[in-house]
Amino acid sequence: LKLSNPSAPKPNVIIIYCDDLGYGDLGCYGNRVIRTPNIDGLARDGMRFTDYYSCNAVCAPSRVGLLTGRYPFRTGIIGNPYPAENPLLRKIEREIAYQFTPMGSFDQHEDYVAAGISSKEITIAQALKIAGYNTAMVGKWHLGDYSREPQFNPLKHGFDQYLGVPHSNDMQPCPLFRNETQLEADIGTNQARLTGMYTREALAFIEKSKGNPFFLYFAHTFPHQPLYASERFAGKSKAGKFGDAVEEIDWSVGEITKKLRELNIEQNTIIFFASDNGPWYEGSPGVHRGRKGQSYEGGFRVPFIVKWPGHIRPGQVSSELAVNLDIFPTLLTLAGIEHPSDRVIDGKSIEGLLSGRETVSPHDIVYFYHYDQLEGVRFGKWKYLRRLNRYVWPVPLDAEYITSRMGKKALGDRWPLLYDLSLDPGENYNVIATYPDVAGKLEGMLAQWEKTAEKNPRGFLE
């Protein structure tokens, strides 16, 4: 990596990443129960996307895609790494996973998930440091249990400072770390303090870095289960514990934007707000079908808001395709950093969309993976699902329909599925019988993508 444009603007960068926040959980996305005035303010002052996707519908793969701009199967993190109880065993599993998991070589089982992010990957933090950025991470990492395997610590992957936990709050033990020092062996159920603690740390970093370009990756623990909120917010929302947690996150967003105004650096700071995937047990996917872990829209399509005063016109709503993989190349472009030439970067810069210089997405295709299994594709208004995994939820049509009088031949095949998202965003009507030619074209796209990916699944170039 090297600078390609030393005179690039180099804005301060803040990524606020929620955990299991659904498409329909914010006021600016139609929610009328949970109060989110500060997040809605980001949308009012910036650009809100309606067709933004995570690269995966579970936590860790989404995060490695965000930070590297690469599909998770390229990194080996195809599912959620669990706490490392046996480092030697995990090392063996990691090597197995890294060599053999691409494109379905192993079954979908957590034991074969890579234990953490490889040192070969380049993160946003590592890239921005080339342009002179101060970097910090606050919150949930979930790219390797650094409490047992220190090579996965955020400080080894481009961050100057860190306060947070190695994985999800339902995985025990869940230690609290500052940099490479363990502060607590297990946060246990003492989690109501987390959002406030994270926010204070973020504000201190912004204050300290005000004279230098900075990158803050603020990855909230909530609203992932189990749900907690501080005394100030507990029981105050009209949406139970989930709503309490989201309203406290909204407060945190307000504190961040207030600090930027106080320091007179708001105009030179770009804020990205998003969720890692769709909602889990609670939360709303909006009009969309499915939830976390599923390749229906509700698992992958999430809120995405970008604010940069003076550069992004306020109040815009974009229906263009975007993926969380795009944030990596977009930030490299803004910071004047040459994009890596030694590896495939799956994301595409959306700087033109944000600035208004371009009106059409650089994407025309989005792929849907569950672990390393390629399940579907979106092309324009069409969504094609080859089949779905067994990460099921009690939503319509997910169960096999069998009667005593009619056999499978009479009922038709369950797979594949074809939806016209322009008419049916809820994916309620399978129109494959009406448009078999469209389904054939999309299946061909999947086959071609698999063929290309299998030739070089890790995407490193000679």
Give catalytic residue positions. 59, 142
Give the number of other CB atoms < 10 A from CB of residue 450: 15
- Give the tokens for residue 344: 């495939």
Partner residues linked to 367 by β-bridges: 377
**For the packed helices 59-68 and 327-334, what is the interaxial angle rounded to 10 degrees?**
20
- Give the tokens for residue 290: 């499915």
Q: How far is CA 250 from CA 38, 195, 432, in A?
A: 6, 10, 41
- Calpha distance 303→307 (Å, rounded): 13
SS3 409: helix
**Burial class, 410, CB count within 10 angstroms (exposed 0-12 / middle 13-18 / buried 19+):** exposed
Helix, strand, coil: what percent of the chain each, to 5? 30, 20, 50
Task: State residue 323 phi and psi, 5-degree precision.
Answer: -135, 150
**Burial class, 260, CB count within 10 angstroms (exposed 0-12 / middle 13-18 / buried 19+):** buried
Q: Would strands 161-165 and 176-178 be described as parallel, antiparallel, or unpaired?
A: antiparallel
Contacts of residue 442, defined as CB under 8 A and 6 or more positions apart, other chains included, come to: 377, 379, 382, 384, 418
